[in-house]
């Protein structure tokens, strides 16, 4: 087995494939609309279509990773990612860009899928929760770096160069995977036939605890992606920020996520999974209540919104890491398929969040109502789990 010093960086790069592909070009959304003569709603669809491709890709690739191994899925996904990034860079119509983003979404889904499955192959219980929190904490750097970098690239070189950068990112990750990543799927020699592997999804969803956890993950991350999709228009159009200035907003949200995942990692052996879900989701509701209530007293400023988002992402991370670890703990013999379902729900939440954002007024008030409402639904699911005792005491 390779050194963990090499394993974790490779898994972090794979896990960051999707979020980096999203965060990097966010500052370019208004510029893409002008360049391709597309409406803001059409440009926002490039986010939704990426999330749709990621969700479908995750569902397709999960059984492959159980049947053929983690390495095959990682390598094929990275090749497609490199090709689709080049496609997006040369898109001259919004339709072409949408197709490229759909293919890029399918490809990017392979990274987080393999990273989670490899982690589940190697760790169990609270150790897997700690691994998941560590992985998520490290990749949370992406929203801090990517929008800032993307804003600089767009300002000096044009939005197309962001996709060239993604292509380079894919090439570097592919080289590391080819040279150093081992195969960790120990169940592969005795796994089910490929034709019946997709039936494993029915097994997962027939487990009520697993199904409710997936719903909770989708709701909580739907709030996150609602912000991700709406934030360029709030800060650039509503508050009048430049694309460069908007790029720095990602730093605050990223450090919020990092703080939440670091706290989740620290508490992995100190609180139960259900306690982590309840604490994180309740505080998200509380923070949203404060933001929305403040709007009735005075206009919400950009700084107040940034503070809210920082704190919200911190608590949301605690909730999500515990829900994801709980779901992955149920079926160790189907780590790839289970990872695929969790990934599909996570990225599928991006479709929901992006579409929700496109229907909301561009204002901090509307954003706070949406994020708080979705968090409240997650908190109710946590209370349901506590009553059923599905996750223990």
Q: Would you place residue 292 in the very low, low, confident or very high pLDDT band (cuts 50, 70, 90)?
A: very high
In a domain, 196, yes or no: no
End-to-end CA distance of the chain: 36
Would 185 be classed as within a structural domain? no
Task: State the Cα angle at 243 between 241 and 248, rounded to 5°.
Answer: 85
In a domain, residue 284? The reply is: yes
Give the separation between CA 393 and CA 384, rounded to whole angstroms.
13
- Mean pLDDT for 338-363 is 81
CATH of the domain at 161: 1.20.1250.20
Average pLDDT over residues 229-240: 87
Distance CA 379, CA 56 (A): 27
In this predicted structure, what is the pLDDT of residue 228? 80
Please tell me the predicted confidence (pLDDT) of residue 160: 92
Task: Classify residue 60: in a domain, yes or no.
Answer: yes
Pick from 61-70, 107-116, 311-320: least confident: 61-70
Q: Please state the rounded mean pLDDT for residues 133-147.
A: 77
Residue 186 lies in a domain: no
CA distance 376 to 11: 32
Four-point Cα dihedral 70, 76, 77, 80, nearest 10: 180
Q: Answer whether residue 190 is part of any domain.
A: no
Burial of 389 (C-beta count, 10 Å sphere; 0-12/13-18/19+): exposed
Q: Residue 334: its pLDDT value, please?
A: 79
* Position 241 confidence tier, pLDDT thresholds 50, 70, 90: confident
* The pLDDT of residue 191 is above 60: no
Condensed to tens digits (0 to 9), the pLDDT of residues 32-84 reads: 988 998 888 888 889 889 988 988 888 888 888 888 889 999 999 999 999 99
| Rounded mean pLDDT, 272-287 | 92
Q: In 10 A of CB 388, how many CB atoms?
A: 12
Instruction: Say if 64 falls within a structural domain.
Output: yes
CA dihedral 4, 9, 10, 14 (to 10 degrees): 130
Cα torsion through 180, 183, 184, 187, rounded to 10: 180
| Highest mean pLDDT (candidates 78-92, 339-353, 358-372) | 78-92
Q: What is the pLDDT of residues 141-190, one digit of tens each?
A: 776 678 778 888 888 888 999 999 999 999 999 999 998 888 888 765 55
Q: Is residue 161 part of a domain?
A: yes
For the chain, the domain total comes to: 1
**Can you tell me the distance from the alpha carbon of 212 to that of 208, in angstroms, rounded to the nearest whole number?**
6
Please give the residue range of the domain that contains residue 285: 4-180+205-388
| Residue 311, C-beta contacts closer than 8 angstroms, at least 6 positions apart | 256, 283, 287
* Among the ranges given (34-43, 123-132, 218-227), the one the predictor scored with the smallest mean pLDDT: 123-132
Provide the H-helix boundaries in the chain: 4-23, 29-35, 40-68, 70-89, 94-108, 110-122, 125-139, 141-157, 160-180, 194-197, 200-206, 208-232, 243-247, 249-266, 273-295, 302-329, 335-359, 364-388
Confidence of residue 25 (pLDDT cuts 50, 70, 90): confident
1 pLDDT more than 50: no
Radius of gyration for the alpha carbons in the chain, expressed in angstroms and rounded: 20
**Do 368 and 226 form a contact (C-beta atoms < 8 A)?**
no
């Amino acid at each position: 087995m390779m050194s963990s010093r090499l394993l974790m960086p490779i898994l972090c790069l794979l896990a960051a494939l999707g979020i980096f592909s999203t965060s990097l070009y966010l500052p370019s959304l208004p510029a893409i609309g002008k360049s391709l003569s597309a409406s803001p709603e059409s440009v926002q669809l490039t986010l939704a279509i990426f999330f749709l491709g990621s969700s479908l890709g995750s569902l397709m690739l999960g059984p492959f990773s159980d049947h053929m191994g983690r390495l095959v899925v990682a390598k094929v996904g990275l090749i497609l990612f490199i090709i689709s990034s080049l496609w997006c860079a040369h898109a001259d119509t919004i339709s072409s860009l949408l197709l490229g983003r759909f293919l890029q979404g399918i490809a990017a889904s392979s990274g987080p899928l393999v990273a989670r499955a490899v982690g589940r192959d190697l760790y169990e219980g609270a150790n897997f929760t700690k691994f998941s929190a560590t992985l998520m904490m490290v990749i949370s750097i992406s929203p801090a770096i990517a929008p800032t970098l993307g804003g600089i690239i767009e300002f000096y070189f044009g939005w197309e160069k962001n996709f060239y950068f993604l292509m380079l990112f894919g090439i570097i990750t592919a080289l590391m995977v080819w040279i150093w990543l081992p195969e960790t799927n120990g169940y592969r020699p005795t796994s089910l036939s490929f034709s019946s592997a997709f039936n494993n999804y029915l097994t997962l969803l027939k487990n009520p605890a697993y199904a409710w956890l997936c719903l909770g993950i989708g709701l909580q991350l739907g709030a996150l992606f609602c912000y991700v999709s709406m934030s360029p228009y709030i800060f650039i159009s509503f508050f009048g920020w430049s694309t460069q200035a908007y790029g720095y907003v990602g730093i605050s949200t990223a450090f919020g996520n990092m703080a939440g995942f670091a706290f989740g990692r620290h508490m992995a052996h100190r609180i139960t999974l259900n306690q982590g879900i309840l604490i994180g989701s309740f505080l998200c509701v509380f923070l949203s209540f404060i933001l929305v209530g403040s709007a009735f007293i005075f206009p919400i400023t950009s700084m107040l919104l940034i503070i809210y988002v920082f704190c919200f992402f911190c608590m949301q991370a605690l909730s999500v890491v515990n829900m994801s670890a709980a779901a992955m703990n149920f079926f160790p013999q189907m780590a790839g398929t289970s990872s695929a379902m969790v990934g599909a729900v996570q990225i599928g939440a991006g479709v929901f969040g992006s579409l929700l954002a496109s229907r909301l007024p561009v204002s901090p008030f509307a954003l706070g109502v949406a994020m708080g409402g979705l968090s409240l639904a997650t908190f109710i699911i946590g209370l349901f789990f506590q009553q059923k005792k599905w996750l223990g005491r």
